[in-house]
Amino acid sequence: MLSRKTAIVTGSTSGIGLGIARALAGVGADLVLNGFGDRDEIETLRRSIATEFGVRVVHHGADLSKPDEIRSLVGHAQGEFGRVDILVNNAGIQHVAPVEEFPTDRWDAVIAINLSAVFHGTHHVLPGMRERGWGRVINIASVHGMVGSVNKAAYVAAKHGVIGLTKVVALETAGSGVTCNAICPGWVLTPLVQKQIDALAASQGIGVEEAGRRLVGEKQPSKEFVTPDQLGGLAVFLCSDAAEGMTGSAVTMDGGWTSQ
Residues forming the active site: 155
Asked if residue 245 lies in contact with residue 36, where contact means CB atoms within 8 angstroms, the answer is no
Asked if residue 161 lies in contact with residue 203, where contact means CB atoms within 8 angstroms, the answer is no
For the chain, count helices (H), then strands (E): 9, 7
Residue 190 DSSP symbol: S
Compute the chain's Rg from CA coordinates: 18
Distance in angstroms (rounded) separating the CA atoms of residues 247 and 230: 20
Judge residue 132's burial from the number of C-beta atoms within 10 Å of its C-beta, 0-12 exposed, 13-18 middle, 19 or more buried. middle
Asked if residue 21 lies in contact with residue 52, where contact means CB atoms within 8 angstroms, the answer is no
Distances (CA, A) of 115 to 118, 131, 182: 5, 25, 13
